[in-house]
Each structure stands twice: as structure tokens, then as C-alpha cells.
Amino acid sequence: MEDTSRSIEDTLRRIENTSQTHRGHVKKHRGYVETHGGHVKKHREHVADASRTDASRTGQEASRTRCRRIEDRLRSIEDTLRRMEDTSRSIENTLQTHRGQVKKHRGHVETHRRHVKKHREHVADASGTR
């Protein structure tokens, strides 16, 4: 019974570590996204400066299209990040629920052990009186 309990605790620890690692990766990825956002902003400024000069119309169009694509990709990455955070929260909630169930189960095990002990004492008393 204790082996099972220890195994469950090991599993919980592994899940917790995985959750922490995932959070770290999300945080690191967010840094990359913010850096990319800065690059996009600089690019837009560059495009705006170029459009003020005598840049060709087709060059401007191409720049705008590239800008739009980059913005779309950035939005997509941000959506993915939000989903990853939601998943992280969901994992944490599941973990908490599981911990509660393990704690409750341990209580049941302890109660059962007490009942078994009482039963053995009762049987011993009964066999000793005969």
C-alpha cells in the first residue's frame, strides 16, 4: 500500500516538474515573441520612412503585404501562447484535484487499517474467552 502511495507521489512530482518546465518554456517563448514584436515595429517604421521617399509603388505594396503577413503570424503566435497558458492552468487544476483525491484516499486507507486492527483485537478476544 505504501509503495502505491509512494508511486503516486513520484508521479505527482513528475507532473509538477513538467508543469514548471512548460511554464518556463512559455515564458521564454513570450520573450521571443516580444522581441519579434519589436522587430516588426522597427520594420513598420522603416517601411513608413521608405514610403515618404520616392519608393516605387510596387515596393510599398510588397512591404505592406509582408507587414500584414508578419502581423498575422504574430497574432497567431499570441493565440498559441494563450492556448498554452490555458493548458498549463488546466494541468495545474487537474493536479490539485488529483492531490485532493490522493489525500482523501489516504484517509480511507488509515480508517480501514484502524478497522482491521480493531477486528483482529476483537477476534483475539473472542478466541481467548472460549
What distance in Å separates the CA atoms of residue 63 and residue 116, rounded to the nearest whole number? 78
**pTM recorded for the entire structure:** 0.42
Q: What angle do CA 89, 101, 114 make, to 5 degrees?
A: 160
57-106: pLDDT as tens digits: 567 777 888 888 899 999 999 999 999 999 999 999 999 999 999 999 99
Long-range contacts of 115-122 (CB under 8 A, 24+ apart): none
